[in-house]
Amino acid sequence: MGPMDIIYACVSIVKSILGAVFYILVSPLTITQNASTRVQQNPRVAAEKFKREFEEKYGQRHPDFFAGGYLQALDQAKRNHQFLVVILQSDEHYNTDKFNSETLTSPQLIDFFRENDFIVWGGNVRESEAYQGLSTAENLLVNLTRSLQRHTPLLARLRSEREAHEATRALREAQDNAYYASLRADQEKDRRALESLPEEPGDRDKGVTRLSFKFPDGKRVVRRFRDSESLETIYTFVDTYGLQRFSSPSKPPDNYTHGYKFVLVSPYPRTVHPMDKTKIIGDEKVLCPSCNLIVEEIESDDEDGDD
């Protein structure tokens, strides 16, 4: 088989099924250099040198050579599910010049690589192992097209799965952001409500009502309120119980209205004391001068609909 016959294009799907790699191997050369004399360079520097030397000799028209080492190119191909074309060649082989000037500068080949989103990595056997082979642009395109048709459905499926995974992750992230935004809004409401709560009067102060609260978890809390305070003050205390005061309180916005998800009930006889900012504690004879109150949670409409 002549040196200009079809190149051997080897395509392999990585075991993890994450990418496809084409090896375009140029030169039936027996390397006389040993491992100790072979040039060792930074992978990115070697890639830049390969491209620079190619352009100095053959011009700017060439495939978009990957600007990095082989392992970096392979990693990107795996990560993005792309085809990877690996071009290895030797300056000492007589066919290298013809392959570069005629095949790698072919507009049809360059367009093919770009249109199908190929990663093209070029290396010199001065930094790599030597292989053999040569091909015209026409024959190379035939082999590449055949391999592309064989592996494109698999890569398309992998890309689709990756996009679905990313969409699911983005949706979950959006839901989490919405949840935390709602949580921050609730915390801000609680903070503002806490800031509006008057200080507890002393046990020797006059005009004071002593209330004992039983929370849904069974915990009991006792607090004193002034008779001149509204029923809303009691609700605010229960709603913000356990929150710490902020050192720099801010003024609640105008027309701010706080919602409560519970109701206060005195047990004997059972009497519901709804939140009413217009009513004064001292006017509620059931509460003064002391009373036991049960904190009953109010079921939301959503919970009612689920039953």
Task: Name the percent of the chain lying above pLDDT 90.
Answer: 13
* Domain co-membership, 238 together with 132: no
Residue-wise pLDDT tens digits, 152-210: 787 778 788 888 888 888 888 888 888 888 778 777 776 776 677 788 888 888 899 99
* Domain co-membership, 149 together with 265: no
pLDDT exceeds 80 at position 293: yes
pLDDT at 225: 92
pLDDT exceeds 70 at position 265: yes
CATH code of the domain covering residue 294:
3.10.20.90
Domain span holding position 56 = 9-160
Three-class SS of the chain = CCCCCCCCEEEEECCCCCCEEEEEECCCCCCCCCCCCCCCCCHHHHHHHHHHHHHHHHCCCCCCECCCCHHHHHHHHHHHCCEEEEEEECCCCCCHHHHHHHHCCCHHHHHHHHHCCCEEEEEECCCCCCCCCCCCHHHHHHHHHHHHHHHHHHHHHHHHHHHHHHHHHHHHHHHHHHHHHHHHHHHHHHHHHHHCCCCCCCCCCCCEEEEEEECCCCCEEEEEEECCCEHHHHHHHHHHCCCCCCCCCCCCCCCCCCCCCEEEEECCCCEEECCCCCCEHHHCCCCCCEEEEEEEECCCHHHHHHC
Q: Which of 142, 160, 178 is the last residue of a domain?
A: 160
Q: Which of 141, 160, 179 is the last residue of a domain?
A: 160
* Domain co-membership, 269 together with 126: no
Tell me if 4 is assigned to some domain: no
